[in-house]
Chains A and B, each alone.
Chain A
Amino acid sequence: MNQVVFTFITQNRDYILEEWMNLMKENADERLINVISNEMFVQTSAEYIDLIISNTRRNNEEFTYKLSEFAEKAVRLGWPLSFLIEGIHKFTLCVINGMVLKGQVTKDNQMEIIYDLDKWTSPMKQEIISTYTQTWEGTVSLQKIALQELSAPLIPVMEGITIMPLIGTIDTERAKQIMENLLTGAVKQRSEVVLIDITGVPVVDTMVAHHIIQAAEAVRLVGAKCMICGIRPEIAQTIVSLGINLNEIVTKNSLKKGIDAALELTNRKIAKVEE
């Protein structure tokens, strides 16, 4: 690192920070600034600039650690990657402008200084990109796990009667999971009747219907009965107009009706307590 640039940066930290923030605010998306308070913006910006400056001291391990911490924060604040990269670019610009103003850039050394800055910021950019993406990927995989946990719960409501409420679009992967949960759950809980509630499934196309039919047949094989509830009018329309044959499976229009039918199948009924 060029000694001149290094001394300039360390000595004029506050000036650079101020210039940098003004520049960033000018260019940044309104939305970006509005999501966080002004103090928060100043504080985070200062942290970012400090982080960049700390890299001049060539302590790589510490920098990597701090950077991953900061990337997490940036992801949480919703700062896009382009903002951070733009930040480095603007930082270089501030440094050069500042040095020009102070008359430290001469015709002889200008190329040298620019090359030097570039050599210094390029690996930093790489590092920021990779850390940011890693943090982001971590978040995505966490969400995926959370989604999987939510995707196919099997709820025992009464002895021998279990319900699987399905909400959201069903794709092949999810259908597989539904089938597995449904069968293992039905066997584990010794269910006689299993109700699949599709009230929350927005679209039933041939693929979804196929998966549901398969699940229902598999349930029959393990020795339980399968019913499908929550068939909305538009779903009934699509099913028939697509020519899907659901004749083999008992279907009901609401979960309530389904539970009534399930009680009947298991020779039970709900009675009012006489007082």
Chain B
Amino acid sequence: MRIPILKLYDYLLVSIQWELDDATALGFQEDLLQKIHDTSANGVVIDLTSIDFIDSFIAKVLGDVLSMSKLMGAKVVITGIQPAVAITLIELGISLEGVMTALDLEKGLEKLQQELGE
């Protein structure tokens, strides 16, 4: 199962709709980087609204994706982290430092626009 990555103007939108297993997560990492390369997007929004559980491996992959995208010149905003997920992440000691977060997709796009100065 691959995660769809949509292009919207200069940005890429990813909405993760189901729980990620390890293989899907790694596949997603490759796909996203390839897509950033193909479209030369400036920003990525990853929406986690429908996810209610994240384990430490997925969190690590997400963190990696973030720093990789940054290397490729795309800013990433993570949106819609559920309260329960936030609590689990903090309790696991993963605070996703330096990552931009926003309440929902709308706010995330606004934030990207602000960051990219458009």
Show the binding face of A for B, using Cβ within 8 Å.
Answer: 179-180, 183-184, 186-187, 190-192, 214, 217-224
Contact A221:B103 (CB < 8 A) given known A183-B83, A183-B86, A184-B83? no
**Total number of B residues with any Cβ neighbor in A under 8 Å:** 20
- Whether B83 lies near A217 (C-beta < 8 A) is no
A218 contact set on B, CB distance < 8 A = 83, 86-87, 89-90
Cβ of B82 under 8 Å from chain A? yes
Enumerate the 6 nearest inter-chain pairs by beta-carbon distance, A residue then B residue, closest first: A183-B83, A223-B103, A218-B86, A223-B102, A221-B86, A223-B101
A187 CA to B81 CA, complexed, in Å: 9
Contact A190:B81 (CB < 8 A) given known A218-B89, A221-B89? no
Across chains A and B, the number of contacting residue pairs, with CB separation under 8 Å, is 55
A192 contact set on B, CB distance < 8 A = 103, 107
A180 contact set on B, CB distance < 8 A = 83, 87
Q: How far is the CB of B65 from chain A (nearest CB, A)?
A: 16
Cβ of B72 under 8 Å from chain A? no
Residue from B82, B89, B90, B96 in contact with A187 in the complex, judged by beta carbons closer than 8 Å:
B82
- Whether B107 lies near A221 (C-beta < 8 A) is no
Contact A223:B80 (CB < 8 A) given known A187-B103, A217-B95? yes
A186 CA to B80 CA, complexed, in Å: 12
**For residues 70 through 111 of chain B, which have their beta carbon under 8 Å from a beta carbon of chain A?**
78-83, 85-87, 89-91, 95-96, 101-104, 107-108
Q: How far is the CB of A181 from chain B (nearest CB, A)?
A: 9
30 sample A-B contacts, Cβ–Cβ < 8 Å, listed by A number: A180-B87, A183-B83, A183-B86, A183-B87, A184-B83, A186-B83, A190-B103, A190-B104, A214-B90, A214-B91, A217-B90, A218-B83, A218-B87, A218-B89, A219-B86, A220-B95, A220-B101, A221-B81, A221-B85, A221-B95, A221-B96, A221-B101, A222-B82, A222-B101, A222-B103, A223-B79, A223-B101, A223-B104, A223-B108, A224-B103
- Whether B107 lies near A223 (C-beta < 8 A) is yes
Closest to B107 in A: A223
Q: How far is the CB of A209 from chain B (nearest CB, A)?
A: 14
Q: Which of A179, A180, A186, A223 has the most CB of B within 10 A?
A: A223
Q: How far is the CB of A187 from chain B (nearest CB, A)?
A: 6
A221 contact set on B, CB distance < 8 A = 78, 81, 85-86, 89-90, 95-96, 101
Q: Which of B82, B87, B89 has the most CB of A within 10 A?
A: B87
B81 contact set on A, CB distance < 8 A = 221-223
- Whether A179 lies near B82 (C-beta < 8 A) is no
A220 CA to B108 CA, complexed, in Å: 13
A191 contact set on B, CB distance < 8 A = 103
A224 contact set on B, CB distance < 8 A = 103
